[in-house]
Structure 1
Amino acid sequence: MSELPLRAQLASVLGRSAAGLSRATGRGDGSVIGGRVALKVAPDLLGELSRGRRLALVSATNGKTTTTRLIAQALREFGGVATNEYGANMPTGHITALSSDKSAVNGVLEVDEKYLPQVIEATQPAFVVLMNLSRDQMDRASEINLLAKKWRTALGKTNTHVIANADDPLVAWAGLGAPNATWVSAGQRWKEDSWCCPECGGHLKRDTDPYWECPECGLARPRTTWSVDNDADTLVAPDGQRIKLQLNLPGDANRANAAIAAATAAGYGIHPERTIDRLREIKSVAGRYTSVVTMGVEVRLLLSKNPAGWLESFAVLDPPRVPVILAVNAQVPDGKDTSWLWDVDYRVLRDRRVFVMGERRTDLALRLETDGVPFEVADRVDEVLGRLKSERPDITKVDVIANYTAFQQIRTAYGRVQ
């Protein structure tokens, strides 16, 4: 990358110092405060740090952190990668990530959906990676059709290459605003936010999944060149080559993330077989999918922060004999409105032992009761394990599904497992 102007160099140094101090004093990982300090000194620093790099921006409602980690893992084939793969996904976090490795030519940045147009304009990325859009943090997030419109407008003003999930109509419509695109059939389990055409408002026709089209205006699913065969656990590349995935991350959602990552890495010149080899090395992402053993029981941690995410977590639960703990908070990072709980179908949990935890456990308990799901209330994971062990000394596994701050609290209790 090119040499930074003196003011930008000073801002970068001060930001790194603030981030290091934050880590040293145990106040956090420094990603946000480092960026804030740097921006005070050089408001245009994000653009300066991006110059001369090949950046990929990754945005979606679900899967941003995981897909960012997967793409970064693939790009390390070439050496260092500047990335915020642990989730600081606003411009302050981007500045910290880019400042931390100024020599890296390649970079992968997870970007909050609302900030994507701003970050596209500032960084002029080589690639923009889009996976899905669905309802999330309803008390403070923009309506998703408005987000899609902002994405589409921003992409129309740049020469970036879009890599996008053609199976999500909102994402496809936004991506069609870009001059260049690679389309991936990555699937869409949650469809409740995309029954209407984003172009004209007509009712979308979905006779054969994953194909969709609007009979009113003609908007239709773009032709894809990459796809996932979930039944065969296989990635299908543009030349027809079928590559076994065999990931260490569970579920269809992570197969979709891997397909998107492989398509992105191919844009950098990495063969998909090599990409998948590297992706198999990843077993967890910032605590997601991590298993820890405590009191002789394996506790697996799953993050789910909105209806689409909960649906994906239900799909990877172990057999019904394995109990599940559900934990919900409603702090600022989660969104204070928990009405989204009523959009989730919990009936799939009727045949298993269910425990509810978190600051808003009574909201969750009422929702489970309405769906006829028996539940028990608890304060902590170890309390649940103590109960279970007293009744079933042979129990070996428990799954935990939690939204963002509840997940972080549980993860911290186990030493912030990776």
Structure 2
Amino acid sequence: MAGNSDPLTPRAKIAVTAGKAVAAASRAAGRGSGSVIGGRVALKLDPDLLARLAQNLDVVLVSATNGKTTTTRLIAEALRAAGPVVSNALGANMPAGITSALAGSSDARYGVIEVDEKYLAGVARDTAPKCIALLNLSRDQLDRAAETRMLAEAWREGLAGSKAVIIANADDPLVVWAASSSPNVVWVAAGQMWKDDAWSCPSCGGVMQRPGDDWFCGECGFRRPTPSWALSGDHVLDPHGSAWPIHLQLPGRANKANAASSAAVAAVFGVPPQVALERMYQVQAVAGRYDVVQFQQRDLRLLLAKNPAGWLETFSLIDPPPTPVILSVNARGADGTDTSWLWDVDYTRLTGHPICVIGDRKLDLAVRLEVANQHFQVCENLDQAVQLCPPGRIEVIANYTAFQDLRRRVGN
């Protein structure tokens, strides 16, 4: 790690102070956390501020389509065993939000940073990370993210020759192709439930063969690398073949996979798997996700699902029928305005659940459920939907801005 001499120039200090003042004003006006606007102002005043703030930190970057906020939290908890951590825990994952987060801590040793997939190469250039975790790539925000292979190519070019240790999911062909340009990769068998973005070879365009859990391209020979870490049931297998139990308060197989990748990251910094995994138990909810809240004499569990891969994972962890399910979908800027992805989600998995539909795009979702032969009711808002459900547990699944709307309504 670099020495602890103050990396900030007078100009940088002014930028940090101005950014914090703007963020505080934004919070006082009730416009959210202020981290993004504060970071924008700070970067305007000193375009090199992110690099300056990162230079005294051992930095970990986490990027993926799904699971990056949760994995960032798990890694941050694990690394606290070795020293103070600064992290963009609330998910502001573009350069302005990241700059704001790092400006908030002066004594941290580690920076654990979630990065939007489209900004990964630039943030890696600025922060000189010691480690980068790449979890998965799948279709998301179709109006602005273009196709997944283009993202994988941007990663591959941006990370070529990187000095960072890349912790990469061996089960996602797009991630493997993106990471393969780097000289130092640690492969994790974290699994891949959603395969619909990985049927053609990212290297040559040939058809991928997928026998069992393996995959390879019959045309060019591009194939699944041998992992040194693996998720095996409720255990993480380390490179020595030892099995370490995973105890999480977060539900579902996807979070066990996130824990496996997080344990591999922690090991890069000398934190043993047992210590890392024990510390991950502290995480109960992540920015409201998985929280159970009381609302109108019901127990609502809040679940975030932003794209087809996320909905598939979420369906696998909800309580069995006849637990009621409320679905909420918006299509605002932060969600992506194209809702055609709804047709990629297998809603027949909800058969037997009473379903209520809310959100800006409830009618789009209603048409999709009609075609999937599901029984549902379209409601005006959360209050009406909850009133239609019997007392007890309700699973509430929402995409990004719909989830924020729900949290505001239930006071979470």
Where 1:134 maps in the other structure, the secondary structure is coil
- CA distance in 2 between counterparts of 1:320 and 1:387 reads 16
Give the counterpart of 1:113 among 117, 120, 140. Answer: 117
Give the counterpart of 1:228 among 217, 227, 231. Answer: 231
Superposition misfits of 4+ residues, deviation over 3 angstroms: none
- CA distance in 2 between counterparts of 1:41 and 1:286 reads 30
Corresponding letter in the other structure for 1:221: R
Corresponding letter in the other structure for 2:59: L
Where 1:72 maps in the other structure, the secondary structure is helix
Match of 2:222 in 1: 219
Match of 1:413 in 2: 409
Q: What's the CA shift for 1:414?
A: 1.7
- CA distance in 1 between counterparts of 2:211 and 2:196 reads 15
Match of 2:174 in 1: 170
Match of 2:299 in 1: 298
- CA distance in 2 between counterparts of 1:272 and 1:44 reads 36
- CA distance in 2 between counterparts of 1:135 and 1:323 reads 28
Match of 1:206 in 2: 210
Match of 1:50 in 2: 54
Corresponding letter in the other structure for 1:220: R
| TM-score, structure 2 normalization | 0.97
Give the conservation status (yes or no) of the 8 Å contact 2:231–2:256: yes
- CA distance in 2 between counterparts of 1:82 and 1:311 reads 32
Give the conservation status (yes or no) of the 8 Å contact 1:114–1:142: no
Match of 2:92 in 1: 88
Corresponding letter in the other structure for 1:257: N
Give the counterpart of 1:7 among 11, 15, 25. Answer: 11
Match of 1:192 in 2: 196
- CA distance in 1 between counterparts of 2:84 and 2:383 reads 40
Matched, 1:397 2:393: yes
Corresponding letter in the other structure for 1:290: D
Q: What's the CA shift for 1:26?
A: 1.7
Q: What's the CA shift for 1:235?
A: 1.4
Structure 1 residue runs without a partner (length 5+): 390-394
**Aligned-pair identity (%):** 51
Match of 1:369 in 2: 370
- CA distance in 2 between counterparts of 1:388 and 1:306 reads 26
Corresponding letter in the other structure for 2:408: T
Matched, 1:256 2:257: yes
Q: What's the CA shift for 1:382?
A: 2.4
Corresponding letter in the other structure for 1:97: A
- CA distance in 1 between counterparts of 2:243 and 2:68 reads 25
Corresponding letter in the other structure for 1:407: F
Structure 2 residue runs without a partner (length 5+): none
Cα RMSD between the aligned structures? Answer: 1.1
Corresponding letter in the other structure for 1:122: D
- CA distance in 2 between counterparts of 1:106 and 1:337 reads 38
Where 1:77 maps in the other structure, the secondary structure is coil
Q: What's the CA shift for 1:79?
A: 3.2
Give the conservation status (yes or no) of the 8 Å contact 1:65–1:87: yes
Corresponding letter in the other structure for 1:224: P
Match of 1:71 in 2: 75
Give the conservation status (yes or no) of the 8 Å contact 1:165–1:185: yes
Corresponding letter in the other structure for 1:184: V
